[in-house]
Amino acid sequence: MPLRALIFDVDGTLAETEEAHRQAFNQAFAEAGCGWHWGIDTYRVLLGVTGGQERIRHFLATIGETGTPAEIASLHARKNLLFADLVAAGTIIPRPGVARLIAEARSAGLPLAIATTTSRANLEALLAPLFAPDAASWFDAIVAGEDVGAKKPDPEVYMRVLAAVGVSADEAVAIEDSRNGLLAASACAIRTVVTPSFYSAGEDFTGAALLCPDLDRPMQLDLVALASLL
């Protein structure tokens, strides 16, 4: 079966972004006078909940507090702006092998897609500094958090990407970093390469077609290697 599409997750997969997200959340909380602070261990647990607003709501439930939808949306919007500032500062770079593999796919004319639970605002803030000003145009389909009714591990984001690109699950390979992402892709029967990130290391990746530290280790994963997974 030929490889006809390569689908990337974003946070933790294209780049190690989650620490910048954590810092942006904490700054937004501080500015709003909330008195909350998410440490690394707390944030690692909270990442089990996909979606920034969903994460805030879950956190409030665990500490016995509430927030109106408007308050939560406002906090999250401010956090996104702060995240964009951190990205623009140039401290975030692609994970090993990501830029190489994207370039190889583009050169071969292989459709690229993004399936993410993050917002389009976060994605747009990330792609240009990470790759190039026109990087968003490199992808034949982009499905983000606001495009779906249910986020990962629900498979809707992958179902929408497959439909947008016009390929079947057995013609695509997904690149993910988390268990929630793996579950979402696997529910569509998409073979998935998992490259655990700082925050997802140690999760259960049973069912991954391939598990490796990154796209350059222990071997450089190229299109031939990915096609062999089909």
Q: Is 9 a catalytic residue?
A: yes
Instruction: State residue 158 phi and psi, 5-degree precision.
Output: -75, -35
Annotated catalytic, 11?
yes
Compute CA 168 distance to the chain's CA centroid, rounded to the nearest angstrom.
21
Distance CA 113, CA 110 (A): 10
**DSSP-assigned letter for residue 187:** H
The residue annotated as part of the active site, out of 11, 41, 85, 170, is 11
* CA distance to 109, 111, 156, 163, per residue, from 188 (Å): 24, 18, 9, 12
Going by C-beta distance under 8 Å and a sequence separation of 6 or more, which residues neighbour residue 188?
155, 158, 159, 162, 169
Q: How far apart are the first and last CA of the chain?
A: 6
Question: What are the helix and strand counts (H, E) for the chain?
Answer: 9, 6
Point out the catalytic residue in the list 9, 140, 214, 216: 9
Q: Which residue carries 């026109």 as its tokens?
A: 134
The crossing angle, in degrees rounded to 10, of helices 179-187 and 156-165 is: 60
Catalytic residue list:
9, 11
